[in-house]
Chains A and B, each alone.
Chain A
Amino acid sequence: MKILYSWLKELVPDLKADAQTVATALTDAGVEVDGLVELPDQEYVIELDLTPNRSDCLSMWGLAYEVAAIFGLKAELPQDEELPILVDANKIQLAAPQLCPYYLGLILEDVKIGPSPDWLVKRLEALGMRGINNIVDITNYVMLETGQPLHAFDYDCLVDHKIVVRESKEDEEIITLDNQLRKPEAGTIYICDPEKAIGIGGVMGGLNSETTEQTKNIFFEAAYFDRRSIRRTAKALDLRSEAALRFEKGVDPSGLYKALQRVYYYSQLLKIGQPQKEILSGSTYAPQADRQILLSRKYLDERIGMSFSDQQVEESLQNLGFALSPTESGWQVGVPSRRQDVQEEVDLTEEVSRLVGLDQLPAVLPEGASTQGGLNKEQKLLQKVHRVLNKRGLNEALNYSFISKKELKDVFQDENHPLLQAIPLKNPMTEAQEIMRTSLLPGLLKNLRDNQNRQNLDIGLYEIGRIYLPEQLPLRDLPSEELHLGVALTGSSQALGWQLAKEPYDFYHLKGILEDLMSVLGWPLALKEKQDDPRFHPYQCAEILFNGRAIGIMGAIHPDLAENWDLNQKAFLAELNLDLVLKLADPKINYKPLSRYQSSKRDLALVVENSISAQAVLATIKLAAGDLLENVELFDVYRGSQIKAGHKSLAFSLTYRAQDRTLTDAEVAKAHNEILQFLNDYYQSELRQ
């Protein structure tokens, strides 16, 4: 919306502020000014960026009220001659009153179509419209002035000189003014004569009733249309005219009559024909009475948090053109129909506070019942998860929640994988953002590839975010949103210092990261070998188990997948459901008193079959050991010529200690031998010679 400074001054004669001051004041009062353009002859155009509630500011008159109120002045709008209203359902038939309750017309006879005077064209052009001819120009000029869109029909093109406003029928076509054949959906507001459609109500007139050089008589239409209907039609036809814009936001029902009064005035002023001295109406019509709202002093003070003076309250509302009468507890306020956004008491608190000035308000912290803020258990643990991953040197990534179908398929490598059932967006912006992710891995793989392409070769990333799992497709109910953790490693982990070599990432880095993670959550990491997931290397992949169910997967990615994603280094990925883990997490610090006595160390090199897992042996040692075993660590794994084929040697370091005494060699030997015996029985293991 644009306003012309000189025109504004005509409407607010006492306005002394310059255009810049007016612009700033409008912004401060919530009518945001987008730009101020200087034209020749000390003329200014103020461009507004209006919020959708202020449809009253889509006109010079509306702005005049606003500016007057801001500067504590009075707006002086032209007083037009009263015209009688003739209700005649034979001339204007409202067949869809829910879509068009009010429809007024003014007939202009013996028109002389020609160009408009310069002053009028200049104003139109300054406000972004073109001068066309005196008839069209008047409709536009009055719309800019009053906010009411108008349309001019060639009255003699109407069969029986009769207007019918009705819903369009199925497949009912119309050729609009721009010479396009259009077929809006059934139920669109159509302006018709008894035989044919002559316009799409509020959006565009029909070519068959256009005013031309030959036009003798004009029917000026001023109507009130259902804004939802106009919005739908304008959107469907992609016809966002100035008129449609105003109808969509809602015009002032009282403005219809005033706009035709103006047309009457200008057609005489510009001598373009003989206006009939009556206004036709399709329904009983009277300018709407003010909306009466009670504003209580107590309510106002409580909502604002301070007490404005009576004078401040009264002046700001009166300057807006609201009628005010005091009551016992406050005021009764009459709000004119042009302010459709002011519906109830709270709206008046906004009007008062913005006009008195929000800078007047004190900044106060609420004193009500004090509340204990804070994070819940899961939220606190999530912070811990970040910390433990950061400690391992990982950087957090953040990817969009939507991905492409292809990316998802490229990860799962399996047409029938259940996670390919992803929720599609109905109106995606691009193919790359067409479905809601069901896994974090596509995003992380993309991050590995993009980084590798930027020569960032040593990468350790994690992402914590939701995945979206539909119960069924097409989507009917809210899907489940699971919080997942994804980890992606490639290249080398950090070296400890500049003199030391970097360590290439391998399976055990990833496993150690997950072990660290689970240990801060109070659970052991439980894995189960998995050889048939096409995403992963068959011998370097495991399901992550938690409380008896699979909650994730980890491993080295399959060389085929690496090739698909153009990764030229080994990469390791993990993804797991964090929601479950956080819910059941039970982090504990298990303090044990420190023993004052010495410990004894014994090493144990055990030869077992290759198939026996180190983790199992470790667990067995702990199980077999009594209280005296303080700690056990695996420190070497050997396969080779020095031991028998099909076997490996596992070397452990065991620490024995008692709380109440220094252990004798004999005690340690006994405990150690018991463990050995147990292992030998269980695994048919031997001590390595």
Chain B
Amino acid sequence: MLQNLDDLRNEALKAIDQGNSPEALNDLRVKYLGKNGELTLLLRQTGKLPAEQRPAFGQKANTIRAQIENLINEKREELIKVQQEKKIQEEKIDLSLPGYRLRKGSMHPITMVLDEIKDIFIGLGFSVVEGPEIETDYYDFQALNIPLDHPAREMQDTFYLSEDLLLRTHTSPMQARTMEAQAPQLPIKIIVPGKVYRRDEDATHTPMFHQVEGLLVDERVSLSHLKGILLSFAQQMFGQDREIRLRPSFFPFTEPSVEVDISCFACGGSGCRLCKGTGWIEILGAGMVHPNVLRMSGYNPQEASGLAFGMGVERIAMLKYGIDDLRHLFQNDLRFLRQFEN
């Protein structure tokens, strides 16, 4: 019987050594150690041995069982490791191939800049209102201190729809509409983004474009506040190092009127192609609301004062993104639009 144990052991060790897959080793475990395995069967015969031989036989059988068990486990782990290693080797990929990406779609650069402008002024406490694009002569001109036949009407060539109705030439009519609706309550603090129209088309003008108008009416609003608000805007829009410069100008609905320049963000003010060597870039027109405009809208100019500003969105978008040709903004070429996916 003991001899049988030794034979079984030798046979099993040889078989384990030759086993070449985890599955084969599982089979060997069943074959020798399973419920009906050969070692198990031998052990069942222990009872047939004389009593004095039984302990030695049992002990030996258990040792062999442990030995086989260990060897199977060791060999199996080794094989799994090899197998794993092989699998890993096979899973080598070219990391340089491009990742899977989704098109992000895009808003139009004009919409993006509009959103950015809105964000800045919302942060300064402004609300956003919109007005009709088709306006009456009264709101587009007369309520803004531009009476009939005023020479200032020639500053903006107008598209007319009827004797009295026109495509608004600026977003300013909402100044008058808002003040009329609110007077005599203070304060008013709004921006008005939107499309405007002028009869003009060349390299730097399109017959439709976008403006953002701003209006603040309150007690004791001053030109210095205008400067403060626009400096904050310029720095948030074009960088914290920006400075602004006010130059006297003329708009019929503001007095004093100013043009506002920012220090060039390309050269920092030393002069370059972008700023045509001046160090400054003109970005908007502004001023203190003209007393006539306040009066017409129901405010007493001795008690309320206001500041107003208006900027061209196309110009800011072109400056901000370095767009070289205004016409791209309205041609909707996908090669253009897709550059604004972000």
- Which A residues form the contact surface with B (CB < 8 A)? 27-30, 32, 51-54, 227-228, 231-232, 248-249, 299, 302-306, 344, 346-347, 349-350, 353-354, 358-359, 361-366, 368-376, 379, 383, 386, 389-402, 423-429, 433, 436, 447, 450-451, 454, 456, 459-461, 465-466, 468, 474-476, 478-479, 481, 494, 496-498
Identify 22 residue pairs between A and B in the complex whose beta-carbon atoms are under 8 Å apart, listed by A's number.
Answer: A53-B252, A227-B151, A228-B149, A306-B222, A353-B223, A354-B248, A354-B256, A363-B231, A373-B125, A373-B189, A374-B122, A375-B122, A386-B111, A390-B104, A395-B105, A423-B134, A427-B199, A429-B207, A451-B334, A454-B333, A456-B335, A481-B132
* Cβ–Cβ < 8 Å partners of B134 in chain A: 423, 436, 468, 478-479, 481
Closest 3 A-B residue pairs measured CB to CB?
A305-B224, A30-B248, A305-B222
Fill in one digit per residue for B203-234: 1 if any A CB lies within 8 Å of its CB, else 0.
Answer: 00011100000001011111111011101100
- Picked from A358, A386, A456, the residue with its CB within 8 Å of the CB of B333 is A456
* Cβ–Cβ < 8 Å partners of B128 in chain A: 374-376, 379
Complex CA–CA separation, A234 to B228 (angstroms): 43
State whether A395 and B221 are in contact (beta carbons under 8 Å apart), knowing that A344-B291, A429-B201 are contacts in the complex.
Answer: no
| Cβ of B38 under 8 Å from chain A | no
Complex CA–CA separation, A389 to B337 (angstroms): 14
> When the two chains form their complex, are residues A425 and B249 in contact, meaning their CB atoms are under 8 A apart?
no
State whether A459 and B110 are in contact (beta carbons under 8 Å apart), knowing that A349-B256, A358-B258, A496-B100 are contacts in the complex.
Answer: no
> When the two chains form their complex, are residues B256 and A231 in contact, meaning their CB atoms are under 8 A apart?
no
Of the candidate stretches B9-17, B23-31, B160-168, the one touching chain A is B160-168
Residues of B297-318 at the interface with A, using a CB-CB cut-off of 8 Å, are 301-302, 305
Of the candidate stretches B48-56, B79-87, B266-274, B324-332, the one touching chain A is B324-332
Fill in one digit per residue for B236-253: 1 if any A CB lies within 8 Å of its CB, else 0.
Answer: 000000001111111010
> When the two chains form their complex, are residues A395 and B249 in contact, meaning their CB atoms are under 8 A apart?
no
> When the two chains form their complex, are residues A401 and B195 in contact, meaning their CB atoms are under 8 A apart?
yes
* Cβ–Cβ < 8 Å partners of B224 in chain A: 304-306, 361-364
Complex CA–CA separation, A459 to B334 (angstroms): 8
> When the two chains form their complex, are residues A248 and B151 in contact, meaning their CB atoms are under 8 A apart?
yes
* Cβ–Cβ < 8 Å partners of B159 in chain A: 425-428
State whether A364 and B225 are in contact (beta carbons under 8 Å apart), knowing that A425-B159, A427-B160, A427-B199 are contacts in the complex.
Answer: yes
> When the two chains form their complex, are residues B333 and A53 in contact, meaning their CB atoms are under 8 A apart?
no
- A314: shortest Cβ distance to chain B, in Å? 19
* Cβ–Cβ < 8 Å partners of A476 in chain B: 162
> When the two chains form their complex, are residues A478 and B334 in contact, meaning their CB atoms are under 8 A apart?
no
* Cβ–Cβ < 8 Å partners of B148 in chain A: 228
State whether A398 and B108 are in contact (beta carbons under 8 Å apart), knowing that A371-B125, A433-B207, A454-B333 are contacts in the complex.
Answer: yes
State whether A399 and B332 are in contact (beta carbons under 8 Å apart), knowing that A363-B227, A374-B127 are contacts in the complex.
Answer: yes
Complex CA–CA separation, A466 to B124 (angstroms): 28
Complex CA–CA separation, A366 to B102 (angstroms): 45
Residue count of chain B within 8 Å CB distance of chain A: 95
Complex CA–CA separation, A303 to B124 (angstroms): 21
Closest B residue to A456 by beta carbon equals B334
- Which B residues form the contact surface with A (CB < 8 A)? 97-108, 110-111, 115, 118, 121-128, 132-136, 148-152, 154-155, 159-162, 165, 167, 186-187, 189, 195, 197, 199, 201, 206-208, 216, 218-225, 227-229, 231-232, 244-250, 252, 255-258, 288, 290-291, 301-302, 305, 329-335, 337-338, 340-341
State whether A498 and B100 are in contact (beta carbons under 8 Å apart), knowing that A425-B160, A466-B133, A476-B162 are contacts in the complex.
Answer: yes
Complex CA–CA separation, A386 to B340 (angstroms): 13
State whether A390 and B106 are in contact (beta carbons under 8 Å apart), knowing that A302-B220, A371-B125, A478-B165 are contacts in the complex.
Answer: yes
* Cβ–Cβ < 8 Å partners of A372 in chain B: 125
Complex CA–CA separation, A497 to B100 (angstroms): 4
> When the two chains form their complex, are residues A305 and B334 in contact, meaning their CB atoms are under 8 A apart?
no
> When the two chains form their complex, are residues A231 and B149 in contact, meaning their CB atoms are under 8 A apart?
yes
- B51: shortest Cβ distance to chain A, in Å? 56
* Cβ–Cβ < 8 Å partners of A428 in chain B: 159
- A621: shortest Cβ distance to chain B, in Å? 31
- Which of B99, B135, B222, B252 has its CB near the most chain A CB atoms (within 10 A)? B222
Complex CA–CA separation, A370 to B334 (angstroms): 44
> When the two chains form their complex, are residues B218 and A366 in contact, meaning their CB atoms are under 8 A apart?
yes
Known: A369-B218, A397-B108, A426-B162. 9 other contacts (CB 8 A): A304-B224, A346-B291, A364-B227, A365-B229, A366-B221, A425-B159, A425-B167, A456-B334, A497-B101
State whether A398 and B333 are in contact (beta carbons under 8 Å apart), knowing that A303-B288, A358-B248, A427-B159 are contacts in the complex.
Answer: no
> When the two chains form their complex, are residues B105 and A303 in contact, meaning their CB atoms are under 8 A apart?
no
- B114: shortest Cβ distance to chain A, in Å? 11
* Cβ–Cβ < 8 Å partners of B221 in chain A: 366, 368
* Cβ–Cβ < 8 Å partners of B160 in chain A: 425-427
Complex CA–CA separation, A575 to B157 (angstroms): 32
* Cβ–Cβ < 8 Å partners of B291 in chain A: 344, 346
Complex CA–CA separation, A358 to B257 (angstroms): 11
> When the two chains form their complex, are residues B104 and A393 in contact, meaning their CB atoms are under 8 A apart?
yes
> When the two chains form their complex, are residues B333 and A370 in contact, meaning their CB atoms are under 8 A apart?
no
Closest A residue to B302 by beta carbon equals A299
> When the two chains form their complex, are residues A30 and B250 in contact, meaning their CB atoms are under 8 A apart?
yes
> When the two chains form their complex, are residues A475 and B245 in contact, meaning their CB atoms are under 8 A apart?
no
> When the two chains form their complex, are residues A365 and B232 in contact, meaning their CB atoms are under 8 A apart?
yes
> When the two chains form their complex, are residues B161 and A425 in contact, meaning their CB atoms are under 8 A apart?
yes
* Cβ–Cβ < 8 Å partners of B341 in chain A: 390, 395
- Picked from A451, A454, A481, the residue with its CB within 8 Å of the CB of B133 is A481
> When the two chains form their complex, are residues A401 and B133 in contact, meaning their CB atoms are under 8 A apart?
yes
Complex CA–CA separation, A302 to B223 (angstroms): 9
> When the two chains form their complex, are residues A398 and B332 in contact, meaning their CB atoms are under 8 A apart?
yes
> When the two chains form their complex, are residues B98 and A498 in contact, meaning their CB atoms are under 8 A apart?
yes
> When the two chains form their complex, are residues A396 and B218 in contact, meaning their CB atoms are under 8 A apart?
no
Complex CA–CA separation, A454 to B225 (angstroms): 49
Closest B residue to A352 by beta carbon equals B256
* Cβ–Cβ < 8 Å partners of B161 in chain A: 423-426, 436, 475
- B124: shortest Cβ distance to chain A, in Å? 7
State whether A478 and B132 are in contact (beta carbons under 8 Å apart), knowing that A231-B151, A346-B291, A366-B229 are contacts in the complex.
Answer: yes
State whether A52 and B155 are in contact (beta carbons under 8 Å apart), knowing that A368-B219, A478-B136, A481-B133 are contacts in the complex.
Answer: yes
Complex CA–CA separation, A460 to B338 (angstroms): 11
> When the two chains form their complex, are residues B216 and A366 in contact, meaning their CB atoms are under 8 A apart?
yes
> When the two chains form their complex, are residues A52 and B151 in contact, meaning their CB atoms are under 8 A apart?
yes
State whether A302 and B105 are in contact (beta carbons under 8 Å apart), knowing that A30-B249, A396-B111, A459-B334 are contacts in the complex.
Answer: no
- B63: shortest Cβ distance to chain A, in Å? 47
Closest A residue to B188 by beta carbon equals A371
State whether A362 and B248 are in contact (beta carbons under 8 Å apart), knowing that A303-B222, A346-B255, A401-B195 are contacts in the complex.
Answer: no
* Cβ–Cβ < 8 Å partners of B126 in chain A: 371, 373
> When the two chains form their complex, are residues A397 and B189 in contact, meaning their CB atoms are under 8 A apart?
no
- A550: shortest Cβ distance to chain B, in Å? 25
Complex CA–CA separation, A379 to B115 (angstroms): 11
Closest B residue to A370 by beta carbon equals B125
Complex CA–CA separation, A459 to B332 (angstroms): 11
> When the two chains form their complex, are residues A361 and B103 in contact, meaning their CB atoms are under 8 A apart?
no
> When the two chains form their complex, are residues B207 and A400 in contact, meaning their CB atoms are under 8 A apart?
yes
- A339: shortest Cβ distance to chain B, in Å? 14
* Cβ–Cβ < 8 Å partners of B258 in chain A: 358
> When the two chains form their complex, are residues B222 and A304 in contact, meaning their CB atoms are under 8 A apart?
yes
> When the two chains form their complex, are residues B107 and A386 in contact, meaning their CB atoms are under 8 A apart?
yes
- Picked from A52, A53, A399, the residue with its CB within 8 Å of the CB of B154 is A52
* Cβ–Cβ < 8 Å partners of A353 in chain B: 223, 248, 256
- B246: shortest Cβ distance to chain A, in Å? 4
Complex CA–CA separation, A427 to B99 (angstroms): 53
Complex CA–CA separation, A302 to B302 (angstroms): 10
> When the two chains form their complex, are residues A392 and B105 in contact, meaning their CB atoms are under 8 A apart?
yes
Closest B residue to A50 by beta carbon equals B250
> When the two chains form their complex, are residues A496 and B111 in contact, meaning their CB atoms are under 8 A apart?
no
- Which of B101, B105, B301, B331 has its CB near the most chain A CB atoms (within 10 A)? B105
> When the two chains form their complex, are residues B121 and A53 in contact, meaning their CB atoms are under 8 A apart?
no
- Picked from A299, A371, A399, A468, the residue with its CB within 8 Å of the CB of B330 is A399
* Cβ–Cβ < 8 Å partners of B288 in chain A: 303, 346, 349
* Cβ–Cβ < 8 Å partners of B208 in chain A: 400-402
